[in-house]
A = this chain, B = another copy of it.
């Protein structure tokens, strides 16, 4: 079994597996080269050969222990008719956000009647899985039902005020959207697993907006998604609810194999909370990678030592790699984690 899969199963490994959220991206010159020729982010994500190439770039350059398919969580709303676009210099936008009761009814009906056509994602997974060496598993992913709903309702980033307000004004509509999203998320993950991915990851990037309502509007639907994936594909599942340290104990019990942890709390504290019963992925502040070599080594060692020698740690960041990251700092991080041999 690969390092990542052994850590996910809480089995001992000679060293920690390492991969990084948003490890493929703008900070890499080889990525920018593909992007220039391709016509932008969405064109790359929708062209399997390019998505495959970008997926492999950071693994080749740094010798990371996993690849994650180059795609976007908003491929699901796009496939469900909300029309994704990336305006230059702005974040992603959906042309048809879900605002009125009628929008939601049409959206749910459409999702129920038709399947989820994300063949381009699956095609990219097949290419990347075939190209990767056996010891490097490919990770497939999706957004959590709540995080997808944030974009679906507001149509763009920037606070997600409409989605947050809907849980007070029309919780019934919000639950319909979330139920539809849970099914779509599971279908998308299973498609990626059947196309060669060995691990599924659910990004709940905006779970932290919910506060006390996290269980009702996010975790509940993550649990459904995980159960559906587990029933059909048997692959391990990693759940990362960002800025949700307060809910870590509950998240760890949602049926997943690992939880992502950000730098709100040290990994040693996260292990206390989860009782060592589940693998932990994290938790370096990606801003560390904007500092110098010495700082990167020092912070990496701090995290490695803080977790201790028990199995079940997947080294990662607490958020994605920033676009201004010098690639040599990731090289330093990779060397530091690789040379930290477990007793």
Report A's interface with B, CB cutoff 8 A: 159, 161-162, 164-169, 208, 211-212, 243, 245-246, 262-266, 285, 287-288, 290-292, 295-296, 298-299, 318, 322, 324
Residues of B within 8 A of A161 (CB): 287, 290, 322, 324
Q: List 28 A-B contacts (CB under 8 A).
A: A159-B322, A161-B287, A162-B290, A164-B285, A164-B287, A164-B290, A165-B287, A165-B288, A165-B290, A166-B291, A168-B288, A168-B291, A168-B298, A169-B290, A169-B295, A208-B243, A208-B264, A211-B263, A211-B264, A211-B265, A211-B285, A211-B318, A212-B263, A212-B265, A243-B243, A246-B246, A246-B264, A246-B265
Copies of this chain? 2
Q: In the docked arrangement, what's the CA distance between A296 and B291, Å?
A: 45
Q: In the docked arrangement, what's the CA distance between A152 and B318, Å?
A: 24
Residues of B within 8 A of A164 (CB): 285, 287, 290
Residues of B within 8 A of A165 (CB): 287-288, 290-291
Residues of B within 8 A of A246 (CB): 245-246, 264-265
Identity of the chain B residue whose Cβ is nearest the Cβ of A159 in the assembled complex: B322
Q: In the docked arrangement, what's the CA distance between A288 and B262, Å?
A: 27
Known: A165-B290, A168-B291, A169-B291. 5 other contacts (CB 8 A): A165-B287, A165-B288, A168-B299, A211-B263, A245-B246
Contact B168 A295 (CB under 8 A): yes
Residues of B within 8 A of A212 (CB): 263, 265-266
Given contacts A162-B290, A290-B162, contact A262 B211 (CB under 8 A): yes
Residues of B within 8 A of A296 (CB): 168
Q: In the docked arrangement, what's the CA distance between A263 and B208, Å?
A: 10
Residues of B within 8 A of A168 (CB): 287-288, 290-292, 295-296, 298-299
Identity of the chain B residue whose Cβ is nearest the Cβ of A163 in the assembled complex: B287
Residues of B within 8 A of A166 (CB): 291
